[in-house]
């Protein structure tokens, strides 16, 4: 996902009116250079660590990990409505005929609700989409929509590409400790105690916009083998974009990506990314996320 022809298309697009602008939020984990090349506007969710509240990009992952390991309170919140308002207004001033604004699952966050509130205050038509995804399960469909927009697709064409990719993308998460899921209300104290006693490591999957348990393994390697097998099954036989996100676990993430690539010979794009700090704050250090996004 480098520059070249894609960057040239974006420069051409920015000079013309009537284009479709793409907005998303920071949980999409889109690499900064890709967002810049495709003109994707990103609203930052906010993260509170101890007494500091800031855009998530301004709080280093290593500081967040140290805080979580040390028991420092953390909290997350959606972007304020003005953050979206100004992005939509900038798109209108640049000549966009419409904005497609795609966000983290509404069952996990009120981000899309903030976007809708802002959309009601601008003149340009804004189509707010609840992705029912997170991480690069959201990011890859956003990138596909932005590529369609950059190639001159109509609003309906962009929405068709987006919805197709959202429907076929799968994201799974492995957590190294159950404690942070308990703090976020995802597990009971009894479940955490049983998990500790038997060294159970859960693999979660996003289904219909919310987290569900896919499997539990005695030890991390068994759990991850189940995640990889499910990812390969969901990827299908055609071209696919894949990614492994992590929170302070890059070596393990790169190993997982290698396993996926070995079993998915039609891989088109493959990424290892440190996950959004917002998602990291809910799953804790050592967590891993696997995304498969088949290409139509």
Q: What is the reported pLDDT for 16?
A: 44
Same domain, 130 and 174: no
> pLDDT (tens digit, 9 = 90+) per residue, 17-38?
579 999 999 999 999 999 999 9
Pairwise CA distance, residues 155 & 268, whole Å: 25
- The predicted model scores a pTM of 0.88
pLDDT tens for residues 62-82? 999 999 999 899 999 999 999
**pLDDT per position as a tens digit, 154-164:** 999 999 999 99
> CA-to-CA distance for 247 and 253, rounded, in angstroms?
9
Render pLDDT for 98-117 as a digit per residue (tens, 0 to 9). Answer: 999 999 999 999 999 999 99
In a domain, 70, yes or no: no
Beta-carbon contacts of residue 229 (< 8 Å; ≥ 6 apart): none
* Within a domain: 213: yes
Domain boundary among 137, 167, 197: 167
Q: Which pLDDT belongs to residue 12? A: 39
User: Phi/psi at 246 (nearest 5 deg)?
Assistant: -150, 160
Residues 79-100 have a mean pLDDT of 96
Lowest model confidence (mean pLDDT) among 48-52, 132-136, 212-216, 263-267: 212-216
Greatest alpha-carbon span in the chain? 61
The tokens for 126 are: 């804004």
Do both 218 and 117 map to the same domain? no
195 Cβ contact list (under 8 Å, min separation 6): 178, 187, 201, 202, 216
Q: Which helix (H) or strand (E) holds 52?
A: strand 52-55
Question: Are 179 and 150 contained in the same domain?
Answer: no
Neighbouring C-alpha atoms within 13 Å toward the C-beta of 133? 31
How many distinct structural domains can be found in the chain? 2
Are residue 108 and residue 21 in the same domain, yes or no? yes
Question: Of the residues 167, 194, 228, which one is the last residue of a structural domain?
Answer: 167
What is the Cα 4 distance to its own chain's centre? 25
Rounded CA separation 296/277 (Å): 30
How confident is the model at residue 193, as a pLDDT? 42
- What does the pLDDT read at residue 269? 97
Q: What is the extent of the structural domain holding 30?
A: 5-44+79-167
Looking at residue 3, its pLDDT comes to 43
pLDDT tier, 211 (very low <50, low <70, confident <90, very high otherwise) = confident
**Residues 131 and 200 both lie in one domain:** no
Instruction: Compute CA distances 34 → 3, 6, 13, 39, 94, whole Å.
Output: 8, 10, 15, 8, 20
Q: Are the C-beta atoms of 97 and 19 separated by less than 8 Å? A: yes
Please say whether the beta carbons of 240 and 267 come within 8 A: yes
Virtual torsion, Cα 141, 234, 227, 129, nearest 10 deg: 30
| Selection from 187, 114, 110, 142 nearest residue 39 by Cα | 142
pLDDT at 11 over 50: no
- Average pLDDT of the segment spanning 175-191: 56
């Amino acid at each position: 996902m480098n520059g070249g022809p894609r960057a040239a298309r974006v420069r051409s697009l920015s000079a013309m009116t009537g284009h479709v602008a793409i907005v998303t939020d920071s949980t999409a984990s889109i690499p900064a250079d890709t967002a810049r090349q495709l003109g994707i506007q990103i609203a930052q969710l906010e993260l509170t660590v101890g007494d500091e509240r800031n855009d998530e990009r301004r709080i280093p992952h290593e500081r967040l990990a140290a805080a979580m390991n040390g028991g420092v309170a953390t909290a997350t919140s959606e972007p304020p409505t003005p953050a979206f308002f100004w992005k939509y207004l900038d798109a209108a001033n640049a000549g966009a005929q419409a904005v497609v604004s795609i966000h983290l699952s509404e069952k996990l966050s009120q981000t899309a609700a903030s976007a809708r509130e802002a959309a009601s205050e601008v003149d340009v038509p804004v189509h707010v989409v609840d992705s029912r995804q997170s991480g690069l399960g959201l990011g890859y469909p956003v990138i596909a929509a932005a590529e369609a927009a950059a190639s001159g697709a109509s609003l309906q064409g962009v929405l068709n590409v987006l919805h197709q990719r959202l429907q076929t993308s799968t994201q799974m998460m492995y957590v190294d400790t159950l404690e942070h899921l308990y703090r976020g209300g995802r597990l009971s104290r009894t479940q955490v105690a049983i998990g500790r006693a038997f060294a159970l490591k859960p693999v979660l999957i996003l289904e219909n916009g919310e987290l569900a348990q896919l499997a539990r393994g005695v030890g991390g390697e068994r759990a991850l083998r189940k995640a990889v097998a499910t990812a390969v099954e969901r990827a299908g036989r055609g071209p696919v974009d894949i990614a492994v996100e992590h929170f302070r676990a890059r070596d393990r993430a790169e190993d997982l990506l290698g396993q996926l690539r070995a079993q998915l010979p039609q891989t088109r794009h493959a990424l290892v990314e440190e996950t959004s700090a917002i998602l990291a704050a809910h799953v804790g250090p050592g967590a891993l996320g696997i995304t498969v996004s088949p290409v139509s």
